[in-house]
């Protein structure tokens, strides 16, 4: 897995977009970027993944830079229920090794 670097913590106001950055400067050409989140005491939840192109689903958008060295997860309208630890992983075999992640706190 390519090493990923994420901020330790971030705050976001409820209703605003949450933009979570991830640096993966050593990513190889066949490694996907995955995002998972873990709400306290629950199992991790898959959010989105992408290889080269930007991706969007019902939960979030993933923006990957053209050189693929970094990406941003966007939660378009954050709610209090989005408070969680968000993990960014670069991997090509789906054997995920989680880093420390970003603790996102959504505030009223």
Count Cα atoms within 13 angstroms, Cβ side, for 96: 15
* Least Å from the CB of residue 71 to other proteins: 15
The interface region with other proteins, picked from 19-27, 60-68, 70-78, 99-107 by CB under 8 A, is 99-107
Cβ pair 89, 96 in contact under 8 A: yes
Give yes or no for residue 100 binding other proteins (CB under 8 A): yes
* Least Å from the CB of residue 11 to other proteins: 19
| CA 44 from centroid of its chain's CA atoms | 12
Q: Which of 42, 27, 41, 82 is nearest to 60 (CA)?
A: 82
Choosing from 49, 59, 63, 105, the residue that interacts with other proteins (CB under 8 A) is: 49
- Residues at the site binding other proteins, with contacts judged by CB under 8 A: 30-32, 34, 36, 38, 42-46, 49, 51, 85, 87, 91-101
């Amino acid at each position: 897995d390519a090493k990923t670097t994420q901020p330790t913590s971030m705050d976001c106001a409820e209703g605003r977009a949450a933009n979570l950055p991830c640096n993966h400067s050593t990513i190889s050409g066949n490694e996907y970027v995955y995002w998972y989140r873990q709400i306290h005491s629950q199992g991790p939840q898959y959010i989105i993944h992408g290889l080269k192109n930007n991706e969007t689903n019902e939960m979030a958008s993933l923006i990957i830079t053209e050189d693929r060295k970094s990406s941003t997860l966007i939660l378009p309208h954050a709610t209090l229920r989005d408070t969680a630890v968000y993990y960014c992983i670069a991997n090509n075999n789906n054997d995920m090794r989680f880093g420390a992640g970003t603790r996102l706190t959504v505030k009223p």
